[in-house]
Amino acid sequence: MAKLYYRYGAMNSGKTTALLQAAYNYEERGQRVLLVKPAVDTKGDTRVVSRLGVSRPVDFTVAPDDGLRQAFASRRAAVLYEHGQDVAALIVDEAQFLTGAQVDDLLRVALLDGVPVLAYGIRTDFRTQAFPGSLRLLEIAHSLEELKTICRCGSKAMFNGRRIDGAYVFDGDQVAIDGQAVEYESLCGKCYLRESGGVLQPV
């Protein structure tokens, strides 16, 4: 039985590198994969980009109103027609930006269409609040795997701190990818609370 896998971690935990390695592993064995990411993630445009400098184009993107299963079916049919070979896996980058309905589609792809789905993303935003896609994945994925990274103090990082012009901020829009002055840092709980003055989420 095909399954839905969710591999998550704080920023800089190597999610994209692991995703690219998974795609390479399939392709090295002569199997085809489809790589998708949410259209809201404009970083890298239509490419998946690792902080190590490795990148590759995605096969398609999905907007918030798009049916993910339908989009996958269309691309799967094209692969079968062009190459005479079925898709061995659907791999999802930045899965936290999916809607809950799109995550439900991922489960349908795995269970009803028989294609394993490997989703990668972060669990919570800079306010320690779950992204809709991540929340749904944590609820329904067959397998959950945390990819770990460390805080500046050497402890395990759990949270994602947002800095604007070098100063930490703890309110604002959940998604802010394009601002050049926006930076993120992976922090352990203690360092996050130190920067936020003990506050875990805005009032």
Active site residue 82: no
Helices (H) and strands (E) in the chain, counts: 5, 11
Phi-psi region of 73 (alpha: psi -120 to 50; beta: other; left: phi over 0): alpha
- Alpha carbons 167 and 72: distance in angstroms, whole number: 41
Nearest C-alpha neighbor of 34 from the set 94, 84, 78, 97: 78
Q: Is the dihedral of CA 120, 57, 179, 12 positive or negative?
A: positive
Catalytically annotated residue among 82, 94, 146, 183: 94
- Active-site residues: which are they? 94
